[in-house]
Chains A and B, each alone.
Chain A
Amino acid sequence: MKIVRIKLISLVIFLIAFNLGGAFGLYAETIPLKKIVEDPDDFESKLVEVEGEVIGEPLYAKEGAWVNILSKGYHAGIVVPRIYLDKIKHWGGYRESGDIAKVRGKFYKECPLHHEMHIHAHTLEIIALGAPKSDVVLPFKVQMAVSLFIICLIIGLVYFIKSRHGTRS
Chain B
Amino acid sequence: MRYILVVGCGKAGKELALEFARTENVVMVDKDLKALDTLGDDFNGKKIWGDVLDVNVLENAGIKDADALFLLTGNDNLNLVVGKVAKRKYGVEKIVLQVNDIVKKRIFREEGLTIVNRTYLIVEVLKKCIS
- Judge A-B direct contact (beta carbons within 8 Å): no
Q: What residues of chain A have their CB less than 8 Å away from a CB belonging to chain B?
A: none
Q: What residues of chain B have their CB less than 8 Å away from a CB belonging to chain A?
A: none
